[in-house]
Structure 1
Amino acid sequence: MSRKYFEEEVIQQTLDYNYAQHSDANKFNIAYGIDKNFLFGCGVSIASVLIANREKALAFHVFTDFFGPEDQQRFDALAKQYATQIVVYLIDCERLKSLPSTKNWTYATYFRFIIADYFSDKTDRVLYLDADIACKGSIQELIDLNFAENEIAAVVAEGELEWWTKRSVSLATPGLVSGYFNAGFILINIPLWTAENISKKAIEMLKDPEVVQRITHLDQDVLNI
């Protein structure tokens, strides 16, 4: 039985700009979930990864609800310039628009759930990045990382005990006093995510009025819970 919450029907169109010279079997997959306001930033982020990792076999996956003619030209040129692959997925967002949003975070923040479900039968790991992240060095350590049985890899800022404590109280999750991770940088353990049905559990929590009252950082809070 499928453990996906989002089936592939939510992807309306796929555009594949593929100038890569490596085989699909060896590539390391990096994904972004954005709306049209972050397309430019996404391109900059992709370029920064490529500049710092010129010899790596990489593939980039951009999940968005808008991709105009100028965007198509720019991303095609970017893929061609760096001899890489950039795949763009146009998303049907209707199921997401009823979920909580804020001035700073639109329903596009939930694209990471679609990303994890999309890759559930395609690979064992995907690096999810927010589009405002710039890469300044090698990602070889991430490529080589071996997960333990119940691990993901995410960023937990050091020295933020006061913040962790506040989140643990607000979210009624005592364990967060030991660390609260940033959902803008996650190396997703796809088999574990799928086995634990994370997308379904997270969306159900985001529809629960009691949970929604407690959260301020939307899916990031829910994933930490």
Structure 2
Amino acid sequence: MNSSVTQTPTAPAKDQSFHIAFCVDDHYCRSMGATITSIIDNTPGVAFTFHVFAFSLSDDNRKRFKQLEDKYQVSTHIHIIDPAVFQKFAHISQFSYYSPTIFTRLLIPSTLRGITDKVLYLDADILCVGSMAELIQMDFGDSAAIVVPDADETTRRRCAALQLSSQKYFNSGVMFMNVDTWVSREITEKTILAILENGKDYRFPDQDALNVVLEGQVQFIDRKWNFLYDLIHDLEKDKRQMRAVGNAVFIHFAGAVKPWNDWCLHESRDLFVKYHALSPWADVALDKAPRNYKEMRMFSRFLMKRGQVLDSFRWYMKYLAAR
């Protein structure tokens, strides 16, 4: 796929730095800033290039990316996506069912071809707590990507639903992409078509499609590179301390509650604040209170677990009013 993407500033010729890509909107720039500073802090001495793919980005966030470059001597490149890139699929009726955002990360390899041989895609709700040196040196062999297994129960269910003969299923929040191999095998085009043709049967449209298309073409690595941490698991039991994460390098807060939700009162908030404070977004406040009805309902449950019955009732009333 020829990606219709505006690059700012002009991307450099192929270099020896380590490239990492994110797909965000303005709201997620704050959390991505903490992800980036956690990476820089835990893997010193590496020349990083950070790529941001978005449909639009505010002038304020553009300014903060420039501050990131100046403070940490890293390179950053903003890639503004033209929705017209998906026009070739417009004739397929189901295309209109999906927001173009679910296709965004599929544009990364073709956009960066000729700039880098490999790129690490990360979700913006990840914090790095260890050195990436081992990952940086990994050999792709014949693989189109290096990936991390999803949780055991998720793997079991999705392998059955998708009829994956390998019995392997990865979480697409961390994907180390072999750029040339990905492009030459037309992984992006095949994944988009899989979503459009079978998406109604997919629980996670883009992730499920990637698993189907990439079956037998990926290398699986240890879960320390995508340690899934569901905060709701803790807060439903009123456990506010971090569970042990072993030798995890990337902690992925993939659930509905995030460590920048100040109202959750979980210890993960302190970990987020540590890296948030090092980023150009340090002055952007954490979420002091639930922002939507789903968060209000969860907060009401958490308060009940803490024995704060009246407060729980108040937030439940706010939830009902916001629905």
Name the structure 2 match of 1:203. Answer: 192
Q: Secondary structure at the match of 1:86?
A: strand
Q: Does 1:184 align with 2:173?
A: yes
Deviation sequence 1:166-196 (CA, Å, 0-9, x none): 1122223232x2x210111011111221221
1:114-161 Cα distance to aligned partner (Å, 9 max, x none): 111112333221101011111111111111111222352111146x1x
Within 5 Å, give how 1:63-212 maps onto structure 2: 63-94=53-84, 95=86, 98=95, 100-101=97-98, 106-150=99-143, 152-157=145-150, 160=152, 162-175=153-166, 177=167, 179-208=168-197, 211-212=198-199
Q: Which is bigger in relative contact order (C-alpha 8 A, separation at least 6)? A: 1
Runs of at least 4 residues off by over 3 Å: 15-18, 96-101
Number of matched pairs: 205
Q: Relative to structure 1, is the Cα distance of residues 100 and 185 closer, same or farther in structure 2, using a 3 angstrom cutoff?
A: farther
Q: 1:153 to 1:50 in 2, by over 3 A?
A: same
The question of whether the paired residues in 2 share the 8 Å contact of 1:17 and 1:79 is answered with: no
TM-score after normalising by structure 1: 0.82
- Contact between 1:100 and 1:218, CA under 8 Å: does it hold in 2? no
Residue in structure 2 matched with residue 215 of structure 1 by the alignment = 202
Aligned Cα root-mean-square deviation (Å) = 2.4
Does the CA-based 8 Å contact 1:215-1:221 persist in structure 2? Answer: yes
In structure 1, C-alpha distance between the alignment counterparts of 2:181 and 2:65, rounded to whole Å: 32
Q: Which amino acid aligns with 1:145?
A: M
Q: Which runs of 5+ in 2 are unaligned?
A: 213-323
Work out the CA distance in 2 between the residues paired with 1:83 and 1:59.
10
CA distance in 2 between counterparts of 1:136 and 1:93 reads: 35
Shift of the alpha carbon at 1:205?
Answer: 1.2
Displacement of 1:81: 0.8
How much has 1:67 moved relative to structure 2? 1.2
- TM normalised by structure 2 equals 0.58
Q: SS state of the match for residue 9, structure 2?
A: strand
Amino acid corresponding to residue 198 of structure 1 in structure 2: I
Q: Report which of the two structures shows the higher radius of gyration computed on alpha carbons.
A: 2
Q: Once the 2 structures are TM-superposed, how far is the Cα of residue 13 of structure 1 from its aligned partner?
A: 4.5
